[in-house]
Amino acid sequence: MTQICFICREKEKLGDTEMKTIQTLNGEVRIHTTCFATFKSLIKVTLEEIKEVFPQTPISQFIKVIDEKAVLVRRDWSAYSIPILAYLDYRNEPVIPSEVYTWLTENEVKITNPSQYVKELIRKGHLGVIKKEGDRRIFITDTGRKYLMDVSEEG
């Protein structure tokens, strides 16, 4: 069976007969080692440029998705409001406050009265409130995201 390079679409490349096999969701692809090195360099440069245009959001410093669940991974926050803001930033949509409280409990965040912190975050303008489908829902505001970004840059 003839192997064709996924990048250059050729069987053989002058001076490069070795091919690298890469597993994909749909099987595998074969790539010349030189084509792979060139492609790797291109991706590296592109990712560096993307980081400049789209800086990493703080959410990845606080929450990781493991088995399709948001898991709090950073525990050195200066205020109990940080995990609340991080979860709402992760969700990026209005949610029922009890869902936030459940998530805090699942992640073993020891807040005795989370509704007190939610009210304080609303008062400071870090959270907004919306009535949707007969429920009261909360969401992170731009001010809350900026605060979360500032906290993530400190730590």
Q: pLDDT, tens digit, for every residue of 79-131?
A: 778 899 989 988 888 999 999 999 888 888 887 888 899 999 999 999 999 98
pLDDT of the residue at 127:
95
| Fold of the domain built from segment(s) 59-154 | Arc Repressor Mutant, subunit A (1.10.10)
Angle subtended at Cα 95 by Cα 90 and Cα 100, rounded to the nearest 5 degrees: 70
Q: Where are the domains of the chain?
A: 1-55, 59-154
pLDDT of the residue at 92:
86
- The two tokens of residue 73 are 């991974």
Alpha-carbon span 35 to 75, nearest angstrom:
43
Q: pLDDT, tens digit, for every residue of 33-53?
A: 888 888 888 888 887 776 555
Task: Kindly tell me if the per-residue pLDDT of 54 is higher than 70.
Answer: no
Mean pLDDT across 143-148: 88
pLDDT of the residue at 14:
63
Q: Count Cβ atoms within 10 A of the Cβ of residue 118 and give its class: 0-12 exposed, 13-18 middle, 19 or more buried.
A: buried
Count of CA atoms in the C-beta half-sphere (13 A) of 147? 21
Alpha-carbon span 98 to 146, nearest angstrom:
24
In the structure, what pLDDT confidence band is assigned to residue 2 with cuts at 50, 70 and 90? low
